[in-house]
């Protein structure tokens, strides 16, 4: 366990200090849009009114790993940029880095223990009252009941692998920041900012973790699919809009294969299928699409919940992907996004594995 | 261009009675006639025969067929035959598809009706597939005639000489300061007892003087890139600190060098050498080397005695390692072996008793240029009265190397003969089994028995300096169970020779990774096929010779070296190489440069192009296995002749009954 230091600064002072000490030349964080029109992940430079920065604001309009990937895929930024990421966004970024869709050089990864985000259905922001209750639940290290389903059952809410980790659970978002520095990069920032005084004790979170674990089991139970009919039922209402794949941080393909020519069938294919079944539901390949996606990114799914959020027909996509993903990850004992050096299991050959799958 | 309307000819083979004994061929033919796009269907006793192929050729011309399906054996057997026939008929060879109704059907199906049904399914799949085939053209590349030989022992030298004599350029890379390898350390060679130096020194000289051989000693391969016919090898020439063009090999530098107590690698620690040295008098090249680790000047910054006395002004302390790229078309690996280190077998007392020698040390003791000028004496100068030779040290041993090292029985008997001849001492050979398969080898064994060598069948349990009889004080006692006489023998001897086994040279893992071949569990190189491809590896254009593939004696090594040289020359004489057209291609518009394909490619055929941020396939290295295509989540990769369309149609055909 890394030591935690009291920075005696709130988040805005901390951001300002990073710019003043020339530690960063840019910042990525959730920020209030002009004229209070909403909140969005934004890239900011020195001179911006950092009071508008809201890194802990409990919504996820998009998984920030996608933004960071777009920013760094071709080349790294020429000067250091700090990015605020929720733990699941950080894990997604690490997965993307493994498959060369992002670079971490000149990035300073700041994360915090996350209490979940509210569903962003219909683009509605949480009310003042909801936010107050949310802040209270952070202080008390409890689970808020109106956050995303996957957030309620998220056990990986600690900021593992961040250069700078902020502890808020048990303390609250308005307190002075409690910081720890796990990496070399983090430690050098700690030195530059002179944050070596006043250590503080970590909050007690055992109860919270065990509550989340219980929620997860329940979530898995509720969304369990044990046969083909249940699978057909769950996806029955899917309109094949592909929105889940567009917001998924792990779905990194340039053009989705399911939109390619391969799935533009010849008339004779339709005829042949129709002969056998007498009826064809159009568009074809809806479940094929979901299963294809699960097989491609299940081992890397970080359970951020974006897919469920955008589903216009309320299919619990992320709940099912979290369950399916954990099964795949469990087979290889793989934790997506935990360690940049851990190779991805499906492209790594090991002589001794999966013997239980042999006959 | 894809022909707009496919006109398919189907040919169902009887394969004698191999297929027709189970499958109702006529029924399959009749069925095939009714399949979409099929112009004609026929049966024939042996499609692979000349008249069978002629059938295809004349049908294409007369009936205007543009696709061909043959239902017969496995494609591994005759796909090439029928592709060629299709090509001879004037079609693209890839407008052909084979349905395997022998291995996959008639041979493995009991019920004739089911077998006939399955044959129909397979033919239907092939017909559906071939209609969607695309024409492919193999790419032709030039073959660079230069050859790289790695290792300058007898295998490497022989291979280099054969290739150079054929008029081709050879780069011979040797890690040590001289060529010659292990053979140059030997005295006599079994079973003919001709002198190793007399037969190997002329080879050293020939290699050194050959105009087609560029000798690179004290050098190592550090990288190999490219593919068969077109490799680039990167070689590190280590600094000798002696200018080879000036050094005359007079040896005054070694005489004057004050660092004299360095254990000689060539004499296997039995003698000392100086910091500036040459491994042995007949070394090629005869240019000295400064051993930087032990040189006083490099250690303390002063001395330079060699420089002072060198009349040729050849010493150059500022020399640097050189990195050289050479272009070659094929590589022969001849990295040889090292001997087993018997130190872990503490019961034999190696390193503890000064009269316990390894066999390679004993070769040096026997050699006229060795520590005793060829006299067999103990370290305090006595003539031995009795000598024990212990076989299988480190070989055929579950705790060390499980394999038989093949040469130890024979060289041990050679030692017995030499000891007897030179000293008259009693020689005791402790063996498990005597293995003497080879021309004149068994005869040599018989000769040794007649000479009075004591052969004791039993593994030695201990070599000790505790003697039973006080008059034997100073001798070593060898304890072993004589399993033929069924009693424990304790024999006092003056010298003990451990017949140590052979192991792969140091650094084989690195070379394997660089060059792209695999090693077996003992570390020897895996040949392409244990019987029919003993000189080739799984990487095209990479050949092997000598002990790097497994323990062997000199005749076998030389035979392999000449074979490898022949393989390389055969490749060179083709001048051009057609590269299989069934390779994968990456569509740069779809590729995200995620490198997952590179991760799963075992042939190193995929590389990353940072300028475009996409991956690319080297067609010459690609074997068309399809690993990359199935890994790419973006489906940016297509394997030619196995693209999705073709496979989907084949499946559609097979399943659409």
Three-state SS letters, B121-173: HHHHHHHHHHCCCCCCCCEEEECCCCEEEECCCHHHHHHHHHHHHCCCCEEEE
Among the listed residues B417, B394, B395, B390, the one whose alpha carbon sits nearest the alpha carbon of residue B406: B395
As annotated, the residues of chain B forming the CATH 3.30.70.20 domain(s) are: 580-640
- For tokens 């073959």, name the residue: B143
Alpha carbon of A129 to those of A84, A359, B616: distances in Å? Answer: 25, 58, 56
Q: From residue B108, give the alpha-carbon distance in Å to each of B19, B32, B101, B549, B646.
A: 11, 22, 10, 38, 26
**Cβ contact A74–B589 (<8 Å):** no
Q: Could you tell me if B551 and B501 are in contact, meaning their C-beta atoms sit under 8 angstroms apart? A: yes
Query: How far is the C-alpha of A76 from the C-alpha of A106, rounded, in Å?
Result: 7
With beta carbons under 8 A apart, name residues in chain A contacting B631. Answer: 346-347
pLDDT computed for residue A263 by the predictor: 84
Chains A and B form CB pairs within 8 A to the count of 49
Mean pLDDT (whole number) for B70-78: 93
Cβ separation A272–B656 shorter than 8 A: yes
- B600 contact residues in A (CB cutoff 8 A): 347, 349
Tokens 């569990």, residue located? B521
The reply to whether residue B594 touches residue A74, judged by beta carbons under 8 angstroms, is: no
Burial class (CB in 10 A: 0-12, 13-18, 19+), B42: middle
- The topology (CATH level 3) of B339-503 is FAD/NAD(P)-binding domain (3.50.50)
| Neighboring chain B residues of A258 at a CB cutoff of 8 Å | none
pTM: predicted TM-score of the whole model, two decimal places: 0.69
pLDDT tens-digit map of B130-145: 999 999 998 888 999 9
For residues B307 and B317, is the Cβ–Cβ distance under 8 A?
Answer: yes
Instruction: Give me the mean pLDDT over the B553-563 stretch.
Output: 97
A208 is written with which tokens?
């919270």
Given A252, A272, A297, which is nearest B592 (Cβ)? A252
A34: CB partners within 8 A, 6+ apart: none
In chain B, the N- to C-terminal Cα span, in Å, equals: 30
Contacting residues for B66 by C-beta, under 8 A, at least 6 apart: B3, B6, B7, B8, B60, B91, B95
- Å from B606 to nearest chain A CA? 14
Cis peptide preceding B285, ω within 30 of 0: yes
| Under 8 Å between Cβ of B488 and B480 | yes
pLDDT for position A239: 93
**Cβ of B596 under 8 Å from any chain A Cβ?**
yes
Nearest to A110 by CA among A29, A31, A170: A29
| Nearest beta carbon to residue B644 from set A101, A262, A297 | A262
* Whether pLDDT at B340 is above 60: yes
Whole-number Å distance between alpha carbons of B36 and B514: 51
User: To the nearest whole angstrom, how far is the Cα of B594 from the nearest Cα of chain A?
Assistant: 5
Strands A4-6 and A199-200: antiparallel
Residues 89-128 of A with CB under 8 A from B: 99-101
CB A65 within 8 A of CB A93: yes
The C-alpha atoms of residue B442 and residue A217 are separated, in whole angstroms, by: 75
Helix, strand, or coil (residue A241): coil
Q: How far apart are CA B499 and CA A24, in angstroms?
A: 68
Residues A28 and B602: their CA atoms lie apart, in Å, by 40
C-alpha pair distances (Å), B437 with each of A198, B389, B406: 81, 20, 9
Q: Does the distance separating the beta carbons of A99 and B634 come in below 8 Å? A: no
Interface residue A271 vs chain B (CB under 8 A): no
Nearest to A252 among B594, B600, B644 (CB): B594
Which H or E run contains B446? helix B441-450
Tokens of A247: 């917001």
Per-residue pLDDT for B4 more than 80? no
Which tokens hold the place of A6?
A: 């009291």
Q: Are strands B386-393 and B495-500 parallel, antiparallel or unpaired?
A: parallel
DSSP-assigned states of every residue in A150-201: HHHT-S--S-TT-SEEEE-TTT-SSSPPEEE--SHHHHHHHHHHT--S-EEP
Q: What average pLDDT does this structure show over B95-124?
A: 97
- 3-state DSSP percent of chain B in helix, strand and coil, to 5: 30, 25, 45
Cα separation of B256 and B320, whole Å?
Answer: 24
To the nearest 10°, the Cα dihedral for A187, A188, A192, A194?
20
Overall fold of domain B580-640:
Alpha-Beta Plaits (3.30.70)
Residue A1 has what pLDDT? Answer: 64
Residue with the two structure tokens 């940029």: A81
Cis bond leading into B191, ω under 30°? Answer: yes
Q: Does B588 touch chain A (CB under 8 A)?
A: no
Candidate from A99, A254, A272 with C-beta closest to B596: A99
Look at residue B552 in the predicted model and tell me its pLDDT: 96
CB pair distance less than 8 Å for A253 and B599: no
Q: Which of B409, B410, B392 is nearest to B401 (CA)?
A: B392
Residue ranges, CATH 3.50.50.60, chain B:
147-238+322-336+505-573, 339-503
Q: 10 Å Cβ neighbour count for B320?
A: 10
* Helix and strand totals (H; E) in chain B: 17, 34
CB contact under 8 A, A347 and B634: no
Which secondary structure element, helix H or strand E, spans residue B657, and what is its range?
none
Q: Please check whether residue A304 is in contact with residue A269, taking contact to mean a CB–CB distance below 8 angstroms.
A: no
Question: Distance between terminal CA atoms of chain A?
Answer: 43
Task: Name which of B517, B533, B527 is nearest B602 in CA terms.
Answer: B517
- In this structure, which topology does domain B8-136 adopt according to CATH? Rossmann fold (3.40.50)
Token readout for A44 is 């900011």
- A225 Cβ contact partners less than 8 Å away, ≥ 6 residues apart: A231, A234, A320
A254 inside 8 A of chain B by CB: yes
**Of residues B97 and A266, which shows the higher confidence score?**
B97
A295 to chain B: nearest residue by CA?
B633
Question: For B146-159, what is each residue's pLDDT tens digit?
Answer: 999 999 999 999 99
Query: Per the omega criterion (within 30 degrees of 0), is the bond before B177 cis?
Result: no
Within 8 A by CB and 6+ apart from A114, the residues are A86, A87, A88, A151, A154, A157, A159
Q: Which two tokens stand for residue A239?
A: 């309109």
Residue B392: which H helix or E strand, with range?
strand B386-393
Return the number of other C-beta atoms located less than 10 Å from residue B611's C-beta: 6
Please say whether the beta carbons of B278 and B379 come within 8 A.
Answer: no
User: Please, which residues bridge with residue B290 across strands?
Assistant: B276
Contact list in B for residue A272 (CB cut-off 8 A) is 652, 656
pLDDT tens string B301-330: 999 999 999 999 999 999 999 999 999 999
Chain A hits for B593, CB-CB cut-off 8 Å, are: 100
Taking the Cβ of residue A253 and every Cβ of chain B, the question of whether any pair is shorter than 8 Å is answered with yes
Q: What is the pLDDT of residues B347-378, one digit of tens each?
A: 999 999 999 999 999 999 999 999 999 999 99
Any CB–CB contact under 8 A between B232 and chain A?
Answer: no
Using CB atoms and an 8 Å cut-off, which of residues 608-627 of chain B contact chain A? 613
Do residue A254 and residue B635 have CB atoms under 8 angstroms apart? no
Query: Which of B590, B644, B645 is opposite residue A254, by nearest beta carbon?
Result: B590
CB contacts, 8 Å: A349 with chain B = 600
- Side-chain-facing half-sphere of A90: CA atoms under 13 Å: 27
Across B483-513, b (16+ Cβ under 10 Å) vs e yields eeeeeebebbbbbbbbbbbbbbbeebeebbe
Contacts of B596 in chain A (CB under 8 A): 99, 344, 347
**Contact B631/A at CB under 8 A:** yes
Residue A277, chain B, CB below 8 Å: the answer is no
Lookup result for tokens 């469990």: A330
Query: For the domain B147-238+322-336+505-573, what is the CATH superfamily, name and number?
Result: FAD/NAD(P)-binding domain (3.50.50.60)
- What 3-state DSSP class applies to A334? coil
| Closest Cα in chain B, distance from residue A98 (Å) | 8
Tell whether B33 is within 8 A of chain A (Cβ). no
Buried b (16+ CB within 10 A) or exposed e, A272-297: ebeeeeeeeeeeeebbebbebbbebb
Separation CA B104–CA B100 (nearest Å): 6
Contact A45, A121 (CB under 8 A): no
Q: Does A288 touch chain B (CB under 8 A)?
A: no
Q: What is the mean pLDDT of chain B?
A: 94
pLDDT band for position B1 (50/70/90)?
very low
Per-residue pLDDT of chain A (359 residues; tens, 9 = 90+): 678 888 889 999 999 999 999 999 999 999 999 887 889 999 999 988 899 999 999 999 999 999 999 999 989 999 999 999 999 999 999 999 999 999 999 999 999 999 999 998 877 899 999 999 999 999 999 999 999 999 999 999 999 999 999 999 998 888 889 999 999 999 999 999 888 777 788 888 889 999 999 999 999 998 888 999 999 999 999 999 999 999 999 999 988 888 888 788 888 888 888 888 888 888 888 999 999 999 998 999 999 999 999 999 999 999 999 999 999 999 999 999 999 999 999 888 877 788 887 77
Pair type for strands A81-85 and A107-112: parallel
**Residues of chain B found within 8 Å of residue A245, distances taken between Cβ atoms:** none
Rounded to 10°, the helix B359-366/B408-423 angle is 40
């Amino acid at each position: 366990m890394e030591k935690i230091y009291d920075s005696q600064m709130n988040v805005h002072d901390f951001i300002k200090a990073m710019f003043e000490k020339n530690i960063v030349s840019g910042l990525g964080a959730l920020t209030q849009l002009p004229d209070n029109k909403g909140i969005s992940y934004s890239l900011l430079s020195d001179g911006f009114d950092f009071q508008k920065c809201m890194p802990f604001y409990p919504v996820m309009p998009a998984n920030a790993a996608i933004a960071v990937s777009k920013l760094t895929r071709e080349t790294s930024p020429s000067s250091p940029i700090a990015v605020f990421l929720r733990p699941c966004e950080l894990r997604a970024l690490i997965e993307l880095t493994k498959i060369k869709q992002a670079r971490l050089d000149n990035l300073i990864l700041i994360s915090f223990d996350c209490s979940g985000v509210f569903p962003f259905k219909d683009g509605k922001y949480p009310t003042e009252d909801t936010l107050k209750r949310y802040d209270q639940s952070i202080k008390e290290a409890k689970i808020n009941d109106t956050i995303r389903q996957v957030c309620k059952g998220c056990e990986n809410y600690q900021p593992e692998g961040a250069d700078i980790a902020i502890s808020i659970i048990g303390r609250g978002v308005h307190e002075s920041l409690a910081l720890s520095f796990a990496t070399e990069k983090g430690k050098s920032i700690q030195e530059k900012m002179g944050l070596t005084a006043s250590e503080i004790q970590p909050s007690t979170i055992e109860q919270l973790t065990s509550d989340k674990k219980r929620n997860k089991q329940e979530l898995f139970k509720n969304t369990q699919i044990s046969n083909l009919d249940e699978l057909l039922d769950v996806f029955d209402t899917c309109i094949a809009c592909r929105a889940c794949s567009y917001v998924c941080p792990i779905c990194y393909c340039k053009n989705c294969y399911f939109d390619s020519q391969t799935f533009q069938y010849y008339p004779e294919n339709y005829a042949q299928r129709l002969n056998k079944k007498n009826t064809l539901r159009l568009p074809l390949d809806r479940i094929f699409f979901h299963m294809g996606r699960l097989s491609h990114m299940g081992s890397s799914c970080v359970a951020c919940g974006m897919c469920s959020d955008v589903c216009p027909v309320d299919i619990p996509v992320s709940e099912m992907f979290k369950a399916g993903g954990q099964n795949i990850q469990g087979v290889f004992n793989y934790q997506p996004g935990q360690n940049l050096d851990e190779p991805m299991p499906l492209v790594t050959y090991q002589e001794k594995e999966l013997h239980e799958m042999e006959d | 261009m894809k022909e707009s309307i496919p006109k398919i000819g189907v040919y169902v083979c009887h394969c004698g009675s191999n297929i027709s004994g189970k499958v109702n061929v006529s029924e399959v033919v009749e069925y095939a006639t009714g399949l979409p796009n099929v112009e004609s269907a026929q049966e024939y006793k042996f499609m692979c025969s000349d008249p069978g192929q002629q059938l295809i050729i004349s049908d294409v011309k007369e009936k205007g067929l543009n696709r061909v399906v043959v239902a017969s054996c496995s494609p591994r057997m005759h796909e090439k035959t029928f592709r060629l026939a299709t090509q001879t008929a004037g079609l693209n060879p890839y407008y052909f598809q084979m349905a395997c109704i022998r291995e996959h059907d008639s041979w493995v199906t009991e019920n004739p009706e089911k077998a006939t049904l399955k044959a129909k399914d397979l033919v239907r799949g092939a017909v559906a597939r071939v209609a969607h085939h695309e024409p492919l053209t193999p790419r032709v590349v030039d073959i660079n005639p230069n050859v790289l030989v790695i290792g300058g022992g007898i295998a490497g030298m022989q291979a280099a000489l054969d290739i150079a004599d054929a008029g081709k350029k050879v780069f011979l890379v040797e890690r040590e300061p001289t060529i010659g390898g292990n053979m140059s350390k030997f005295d006599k060679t079994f079973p003919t007892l001709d002198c190793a130096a007399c037969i190997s020194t002329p080879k050293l000289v020939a290699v050194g003087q050959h105009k087609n051989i560029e000798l690179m000693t004290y050098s190592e391969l550090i990288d190999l890139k490219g593919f068969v016919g077109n490799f680039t090898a990167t070689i590190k020439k280590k600094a000798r600190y002696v200018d080879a063009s000036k050094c005359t090999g007079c040896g005054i530098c070694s005489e004057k060098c004050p660092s004299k107590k360095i254990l000689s690698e060539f004499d296997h620690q039995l003698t000392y050498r100086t910091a500036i040295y040459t491994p042995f008098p007949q070394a090629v090249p005869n240019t000295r080397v400064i051993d930087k680790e032990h040189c006083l000047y490099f250690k303390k910054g002063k001395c330079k005695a060699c420089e002072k006395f060198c009349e040729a002004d050849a010493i150059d302390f500022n020399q640097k390692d050189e990195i050289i790229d050479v272009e070659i078309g094929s590589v022969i690996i001849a990295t040889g072996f090292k001997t087993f280190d018997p130190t872990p077998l503490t019961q034999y007392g190696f390193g503890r008793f000064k009269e316990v020698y390894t066999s390679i040390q004993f070769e040096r003791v026997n050699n006229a240029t060795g520590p005793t000028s060829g006299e067999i004496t103990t370290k305090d100068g006595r003539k031995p009265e009795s000598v024990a030779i212990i076989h299988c040290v480190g070989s055929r041993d579950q705790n060390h190397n499980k394999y038989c090292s093949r040469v130890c029985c024979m060289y041990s008997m050679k030692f017995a003969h030499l000891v007897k001849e030179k000293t008259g001492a009693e020689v005791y050979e402790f063996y498990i089994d005597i293995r003497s398969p080879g021309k004149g080898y068994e005869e040599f064994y018989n000769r040794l028995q007649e000479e009075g060598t004591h052969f004791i069948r039993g593994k030695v349990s201990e070599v000790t300096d505790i003697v039973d009889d006080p008059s034997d004080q100073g001798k070593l006692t060898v304890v072993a169970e004589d399993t033929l006489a069924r009693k424990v023998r304790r024999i006092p001897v003056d010298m003990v020779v451990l017949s140590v086994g052979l192991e792969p040279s140091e650094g084989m893992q690195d070379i394997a990774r660089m060059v792209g071949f695999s090693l077996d569990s003992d570390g020897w190189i895996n040949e392409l096929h244990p019987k029919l491809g003993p000189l080739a590896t799984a990487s095209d254009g990479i050949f092997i010779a000598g002990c790097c593939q497994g323990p062997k004696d000199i005749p076998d090594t030389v035979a392999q070296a000449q074979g490898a040289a022949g393989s390389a020359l055969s490749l060179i004489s083709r001048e051009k190489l057609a590269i299989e057209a069934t390779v994968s291609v990456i569509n740069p518009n779809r590729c995200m440069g995620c490198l997952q394909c590179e991760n799963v490619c075992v042939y190193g055929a995929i590389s990353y192009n940072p300028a475009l941020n996409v991956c690319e396939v080297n067609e010459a290295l690609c074997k068309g296995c399809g690993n990359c295509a199935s890994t790419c989540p973006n489906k940016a990769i297509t394997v030619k002749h196995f693209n999705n369309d073709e496979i989907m149609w084949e499946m559609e055909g097979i399943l659409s009954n």
